Chain A
Amino acid sequence: DGGITQSPKYLFRKEGQNVTLSCEQNLNHDAMYWYRQDPGQGLRLIYYSQIVNDFQKGDIAEGYSVSREKKESFPLTVTSAQKNPTAFYLCASGTGSGELFFGEGSRLTVL
């Protein structure tokens, strides 16, 4: 089935650790996005990529890093520099019309 796959669904991190969230899509979309969602809040853009080997910072990029080595993959690393990483992370990919297709999310908890 076509879609976006995020893994893991749940992730626990100790203070000082880096963790990487996976996002894979088979929709042949050029653009991919990472959003962060806090309880009762909307989505805030972390990073986005319009094409392979290129990406731009969103509104809250500090403490995060990404790569886009393949069209299908856009992993997000939450580094130890991110002081408040506990959140729900959503990956999406997009068509030229602007509609986004979302994965099921990854919930990160800092212990």
Chain B
Amino acid sequence: SQQGEEDPQALSIQEGENATMNCSYKTSINNLQWYRQNSGRGLVHLILIRSNEREKHSGRLRVTLDTSKKSSSLLITASRAADTASYFCATALISSGSARQLTFGSGTQLTVLP
């Protein structure tokens, strides 16, 4: 089963509004990452938050992490039509290996209407 699950599955908002997506996971993690995927393209890394961090910002993106609830949220402020994409959370499990495997959720499809 998926380690991370995004909610909602689909979100439609007007340009200029804020978009919030949530991610829940099941086991202890080393870090949690958010990626964006435009239709038919590869994924692009947006932001990484470590298990000992609670909040992180990058431009119009704000990510929070609550390890007690095993959940994270991605907030995109002042959305633009170009933000239309699928957004995935990915969790890196605590591992002794040098290459941490990421487990991806099923994504939130965000549509920003002009």
Contact = CB atoms under 8 A, between A and B. Distances in A.
Interface of A: 4, 6, 30-31, 33, 35, 40-45, 48, 50, 58, 88, 90, 92, 94, 96-105, 107
B48 A50 contact: no
B48 A42 contact: no
A48 B99 contact: yes
B114 interface: no
B97 A50 contact: yes
A42 B90 CA distance: 10
B30 A98 contact: yes
Interface of B: 2, 4, 30-31, 33, 35, 40-45, 48, 88, 90, 92, 97-107
Contact of A41 (B4, B40, B92, B106): B106
B35 to A, nearest CB: 8
11 contacts: A30-B99, A31-B99, A42-B4, A43-B43, A58-B101, A98-B31, A98-B33, A98-B48, A100-B102, A104-B42, A105-B41
Contacts of A99: 33, 45, 48
Contact of A97 (B44, B48, B101, B106): B48
A46 to B, nearest CB: 12
B106 A98 contact: no
Given A31-B99, A42-B88, A96-B98, A101 B107 contact: no
Contacts of A96: 98
Given A98-B48, A99-B33, A42 B97 contact: no
Given A42-B88, A43-B88, A96-B98, A102 B33 contact: no
Contacts of B102: 98, 100
A40 B40 contact: no
Q: Which of B31, B48, B100 has the most CB of A within 10 A?
A: B100
